[in-house]
Amino acid sequence: MGAGHAHVLYRESGSPVHRLPPEVKIAAMVLFTVAVVATPREAYWAFGGYALLVAVVAALARVGPRWLLARALIELPFVLFAFALPFLGAGERVDVAGLSLSVDGLHGAFNILAKGTLGVLASLLLAATTTTRDLILGLDRLRCPQVLTQIATFMLRYLDVLVGEARRMRVARVSRGDDPRFLWQLRGFAAGVGALFLRAFERGERVYLAMVSRGYTGRMPAVWQGAGAATAGQWAVAATVPVIAASIAAAALVLQ
């Protein structure tokens, strides 16, 4: 953990967003998403305000729109489902370009697209400006359940080890004539997966016992938790985004 693991979504930069402590960014992202979800689907203007807010944060974080949109394609299955709703929905229908579409289905499709896209973009901005190690540290500072932080910490620390071990096992199988492309060799592949699971379980148990014997209590060391913890000013800066989003959501609910 001390080496500082990065991930494929992280974009190294010295932007103001990158310099914020991870806990304030996590809290801001979660509260922003809650405000978006709480917004009535008929308040189209509100989603435009949220999109503008995301664009401002992306500009401050120096994350380009092409990078964001390319990685937002992860929500493509939900987009396809949303496009099917106007055709499958019941109730009042309207003709659009010769097609009979459900009004409720149109509202539902927009609801999924708008809220899903905004949530994905907010998550991508968090991932682009925070390393995986800092994400776990931020969750620990926010008093996330110990079980979750422990699992995430071990996964981060030993994921590369397990991937390397799986690669070596595959090379060993192939060198002995195994070819996983053929269905009748699926049994060997399944046995390899089982062996890898047992090795990972045993390794995790040994590592955990070794850490406990050295004073590990399930949380980051107190010195590490305190180093770089958010100040009141940084909390106030990060609160700008959820406060504006909450104001937009409240106005949308009042004007509904």
Domain regions of the chain by residue span:
16-138+230-255, 145-224
Q: What is the full DSSP assignment across 170-209? A: HHHHHHTT--TTSGGGHHHHHHHHHHHHHHHHHHHHHHHH
End-to-end Cα, the chain, rounded Å: 49
Can you give the pTM of this predicted structure?
A: 0.76
Give the pLDDT confidence of 96-123 residue by residue, as tens digits: 777 777 777 788 888 889 999 999 999 9
Q: Give the list of residues 6+ apart from residue 201 with CB closer than 8 angstroms, or none.
A: none
CB atoms within 10 A of CB 24: 21
Residue 224: predicted pLDDT:
53
Q: Give the list of residues 6+ apart from residue 226 with CB closer than 8 angstroms, or none.
A: none
Q: Give me the amino acid identity at 145.
A: P
Task: Please check the confidence at residue 241 and state whether its pLDDT lies above 80.
Answer: yes
Question: 200 or 253: which carries more pLDDT confidence?
Answer: 253
C-alpha distances (whole Å) from 219 to each of 142, 149, 251 are 12, 8, 41
Q: Are 95 and 106 in contact (CB under 8 A)?
A: no
